[in-house]
Amino acid sequence: MIKTTRRFMIQSSLVLATVVAMGMVAGNAQAISFTETSLNSSVGATGSEIQNDGTLVRAYHFGAGLTDVTVHGVLFMAGGAPGSFTDTALSGDWGAGFNSWNGNWSLTSLTDPAYKQLLTSMLMTSSGAAITISGLTAGHTYRLQLISNNPRNAQIEVEGSSHTLSGGDNANPVLLTATWIAGDTTLNMSVLNDNLHFCGYALHDITPATANPTTAAGQSTSRQAKDKVESSEAAVPDNELITADLLVSLSNPSFEKPGKGVGSSWAQFGSPWNAQSFPSARQQIETVTGGAFTKAAPGGGKWCALLSVDNVPVKTPLVQSWDAGVSAGDTLSVTFYLGRAKGQKGGKGIAFFKVGATLYTLAFDTTALPADSWRRTTMTQKISNSGNLSLGFCSTSASGNNSFLDSISDITVLSKSVALR
Ligand SMILES: [Ca+2]
């Protein structure tokens, strides 16, 4: 529910000053999540590891004399070869001496003709290859799938983050998946060492479906991305008086009213969190007695929520919504605790406000936390449109790379009518 709690102007101004100061130390918004998947290359394989959900932006495969092929529901256009590229969004430099191979490299026993064409043709990059793909929408979440039939331990950089393929010089094809929120309209990638076999790529827009802009593509601007704030405990002490023009109260903010119990200290997400469409019933856990953490987050009580890609991928985030609006120029802020469990690696994900059809996102990364610890995180966003409000969380990591969430505060709304200084 939304409580109108207009306070003295001087208190609101002090809090807003804190918000502005935090904005100046905004963290890196370009959190990239990499996942490496082996591609089955046995005789009857069909490329079923290639993901096809989301909105296809573009997919091309490379080599001379190729045709368009559909592999696991993804249409890979014939992208051409050096001197005759047809992928018009692709520009850049493949490095000196790059070459292509057409249609008969090593994996010729494959029987699915489309998959065979995809995996037996490729470009061979040279050191320093730097490629750009244009036409992205800033603020949207993208998934790039790169396909190689011979990974050669290539070090690949996407949007400034690097990943080294684990496979060596052999015909063991691999799919490298990179997921990130676009900070601008151009994808930048490079290959930092020689002779990667690059068969093709697929780029999908996987912006959370419940919050996908339908009429306002491009409204999520890079300026919004730069407004992201992730702050530590020091920024907002627990005992600070939060003042705001509006306080938006969550229902079940600490997951203390679990959904259907499934045993072993696990339950489904409790209402009004949206649990019904998720594949796994194990969605929230008894924090301490369930063995996830030695201590609960401050104010966290008995239960906490699991943020896993199995239950809350970007397509179906964990969301709570209100039939009440906020206005362009308002500054929204919410505090919550993210955790990395005992004996786990942690993971990456996205927290967001959704206003109308526009997302305001904060990427988080619990792999940087010590195991068995919680971190207080504040998301503050100045919004540029008016509409009904939602708060959501999702995971962008591979299965098993989990984060945990608990103890979410009221959302404070500082009205644009409050004096800035
Ligand atoms: Ca709790």
Nearest to 142 by CA among 133, 155, 150: 133
Helix (H) or strand (E) segment spanning residue 115: helix 113-120
- The sheet carrying 197-198 orders its strands as 99-101, 122-124, 197-198
Both tokens of 87, joined, read: 């992928």
Residues 397 and 347 sit within 8 Å (Cβ to Cβ): yes
Q: Is residue 166 included in any domain, yes or no?
A: yes
Distance, in Å, from the CA atom of 81 to the CA atom of 72, rounded to the nearest integer, reads 23
Which residue, chain included where needed, has tokens 């008995």? 302
Residues 356 and 305 sit within 8 Å (Cβ to Cβ): no
| 304 Cα: distance to centroid of ligand 1 (angstroms) | 5
Q: Rounded to the nearest 5°, which phi and psi values hold at 13?
A: -65, -40
Distance, in Å, from the CA atom of 280 to the CA atom of 274, rounded to the nearest integer, reads 13
Based on the number of CB atoms within 10 Å of its own CB, is 27 exposed (0-12), middle (13-18) or buried (19 or more)?
middle
Domain identity same for 22 and 38: no
Q: Is residue 419 included in any domain, yes or no?
A: no
Which residue, chain included where needed, has tokens 């096809």? 52
| 303 Cα: distance to centroid of ligand 1 (angstroms) | 4
The DSSP code for 327 is -
Q: Is residue 405 included in any domain, yes or no?
A: yes
The residue range of the domain holding 330 is 2-26+227-414
Q: Which CATH number do you get for residue 292?
A: 2.60.120.260
Distance, in Å, from the CA atom of 172 to the CA atom of 148, rounded to the nearest integer, reads 9
Distance, in Å, from the CA atom of 240 to the CA atom of 233, rounded to the nearest integer, reads 11
Distance, in Å, from the CA atom of 27 to the CA atom of 196, rounded to the nearest integer, reads 32
Distance, in Å, from the CA atom of 224 to the CA atom of 361, rounded to the nearest integer, reads 8
| 288 Cα: distance to centroid of ligand 1 (angstroms) | 11
Domain identity same for 237 and 144: no
Both tokens of 365, joined, read: 């990364």
| 293 Cα: distance to centroid of ligand 1 (angstroms) | 12
| Total-model pTM | 0.49
Residues 97 and 81 sit within 8 Å (Cβ to Cβ): no
| 23 Cα: distance to centroid of ligand 1 (angstroms) | 28
Domain identity same for 201 and 241: no
Which of 211, 244, 274 corresponds to the end of one domain? 211
Structural domain tally of the chain? 2
pLDDT of residue 244: 61
Residues 307 and 393 sit within 8 Å (Cβ to Cβ): yes
Domain identity same for 129 and 246: no
Q: Is 210 left (phi over 0), alpha (psi -120 to 50) or beta?
A: alpha
Domain identity same for 17 and 52: no
Domain identity same for 7 and 136: no
Both tokens of 233, joined, read: 């405990």
Helix (H) or strand (E) segment spanning residue 23: helix 9-23
Q: Is residue 218 included in any domain, yes or no?
A: no
| 265 Cα: distance to centroid of ligand 1 (angstroms) | 13
Q: Is 160 left (phi over 0), alpha (psi -120 to 50) or beta?
A: left
Domain identity same for 11 and 38: no
Q: Is residue 305 included in any domain, yes or no?
A: yes
pLDDT of residue 87: 80
| 263 Cα: distance to centroid of ligand 1 (angstroms) | 17
| 373 Cα: distance to centroid of ligand 1 (angstroms) | 14
| 407 Cα: distance to centroid of ligand 1 (angstroms) | 6
Neighbours of 409 (CB within 10 A): 21
Both tokens of 80, joined, read: 């051409």
Cis amide prior to 208 (ω within 30 degrees): no
| 406 Cα: distance to centroid of ligand 1 (angstroms) | 5
| 302 Cα: distance to centroid of ligand 1 (angstroms) | 5
Collapsed DSSP state (helix, strand, coil) of residue 51: coil
pLDDT below 70 — which residues of the chain?
1-31, 95-97, 209-244, 275-279, 416-421
Which of 178, 211, 244 corresponds to the end of one domain? 211
| 252 Cα: distance to centroid of ligand 1 (angstroms) | 9
Domain identity same for 106 and 235: no
Q: Which CATH number do you get for residue 194?
A: 2.60.120.430
Q: Is residue 354 included in any domain, yes or no?
A: yes
| 315 Cα: distance to centroid of ligand 1 (angstroms) | 24
Domain identity same for 239 and 273: yes
Cross-strand partners of 37: 175
| 305 Cα: distance to centroid of ligand 1 (angstroms) | 8
Domain identity same for 238 and 149: no
pLDDT of residue 277: 59
Domain identity same for 298 and 189: no
Q: Is 153 left (phi over 0), alpha (psi -120 to 50) or beta?
A: left
Q: Is residue 217 included in any domain, yes or no?
A: no
Which of 187, 211, 235 corresponds to the end of one domain? 211
Domain identity same for 206 and 105: yes
The identity of residue 318, as a single letter, is: L
Q: Is residue 421 included in any domain, yes or no?
A: no
Q: How many CA atoms lie within 13 A of 219 on its CB side?
A: 19
